[in-house]
Chains A and B, each alone.
Chain A
Amino acid sequence: MSTPHRYADPYLAGVCLGLVLLAAFVFAGRGLGASGAFASSAAGVVAAASPSRAAANPYFARYLGGDGPWREWLLFEIAGVVLGGFLSALFAGRLHAAIERGPNISRRSRLAYAFGGGSVMGIGAVLARGCTSGLALTGGALLSAGAWLFMMAAFAGAYVFAPFVKRAWR
Chain B
Amino acid sequence: MNPFAIATLIGIAFGWTLERAGLGSAPKLAGQFYLTDLTVFKVMFSAIVTAMLGAFWLSRLGILDLSQVYIPETFLLPQLAGGLIFGIGFVVAGLCPGTSCVAAATGRGDGVMVMLGIFAGVLVTGLAFAPLRDFYESTAHGSLTLPELLRIPYGVVVFAIVAMALIAFQFAERLEKRA
Contact, chains A and B (beta carbon distance below 8 A): yes
Check: A46 CB closer than 8 A to any chain B CB: yes
A146 lies within 8 A of B55 (CB): no
Q: Contact at B116–A115, with CB atoms within 8 Å?
A: yes
* Chain B 89-116 interface 0/1 with A at a Cβ cutoff of 8 Å (1 = within): 1111111111011111111111101111
Q: Which of A11, A18, A42, A130 contacts B126, CB < 8 Å? A: A42
Q: How large is the interface on B (under 10, 10 to 19, 20 to 34, 35 or more residues)?
A: 35 or more
Q: Check if B76 sits within 8 Å of A146, measured CB to CB.
A: yes
Q: B82 is contacted by which of A19, A30, A126, A140 (Cβ under 8 Å)?
A: A126
Count chain A CB atoms within 10 A of each CB in B6, B44, B48, B54 and give the residue with the most. Answer: B48
Chain B facing A: main interface SS:
helix
Interface flags, A34-67, vs B, CB<8A=1, else 0: 1101110111011000000000011110000000
Question: Provided the pairs A117-B91, A117-B94, A142-B72 are in contact, do residues A127 and B79 lie with their beta carbons within 8 angstroms?
Answer: yes
A-B interface pairs (CB < 8 A), number: 525
A13-32 residues with Cβ-Cβ distance < 8 A to B are: 13-32
Q: Please give me the residue from chain A that is nearest to B20 by CB atom.
A: A8
Contact of B127 with A by CB under 8 A: yes
Q: Does B163 contact A (CB under 8 A)?
A: no
Given A35-B97, A101-B27, A118-B100, A24 contacting B110 (CB threshold 8 A): no
Q: Are A129 and B72 touching (Cβ within 8 A)?
A: yes
Evaluate contact between B72 and A125: CB separation under 8 angstroms: no
Name the A residues within 8 Å of B110 (CB-CB): 99-101, 110-111, 114
Is the beta-carbon distance between A119 and B117 smaller than 8 angstroms?
Answer: yes
**A10-B39, A81-B102 are known contacts. Are A125 and B97 too (CB-CB below 8 A)?**
yes
Chain A residues, CB < 8 A from B19 = 84-85, 88-89, 92, 94
Distance A142 CA – B147 CA, assembled complex (angstroms):
10
Interface centre among A82, A121, A139 (most CB of B within 10 A): A121
Question: Would you give the shortest CB distance from A115 to chain B, in whole angstroms?
Answer: 4
B73, chain A: closest CB distance, angstroms? 6
User: How far apart are the CA atoms of A87 and B46 in the complex, in Å?
Assistant: 23
Q: Which residues of B contact A73 (CB under 8 A)?
A: 3-4, 7
Residues from chain B with Cβ under 8 Å of A102 in the complex: 27, 30
Distance (whole angstroms) from the CB of B9 to the closest CB of chain A: 6
Give the docked Cα–Cα distance between A17 and B122 (Å): 26
**Interfacial chain B residues near A139, Cβ < 8 Å:** 71-72
Q: Check A42/B123 contact, CB under 8 A, given A143-B145, A169-B34.
A: yes
**18 additional contacts, CB 8 Å, given A14-B49, A42-B119, A119-B118?**
A11-B43, A22-B51, A29-B69, A29-B70, A76-B11, A78-B101, A85-B15, A117-B90, A118-B100, A122-B120, A124-B82, A124-B84, A126-B121, A143-B157, A147-B79, A149-B80, A161-B91, A162-B91
Can you identify 6 A-B contacts, CB atoms within 8 angstroms? A76-B11, A78-B11, A80-B9, A83-B15, A88-B15, A122-B89
Please provide the 10 A-B residue pairs with the shortest distance between their CB atoms, ordered closest to farther: A122-B121, A80-B11, A118-B117, A14-B46, A18-B50, A157-B87, A117-B93, A153-B83, A128-B82, A84-B15
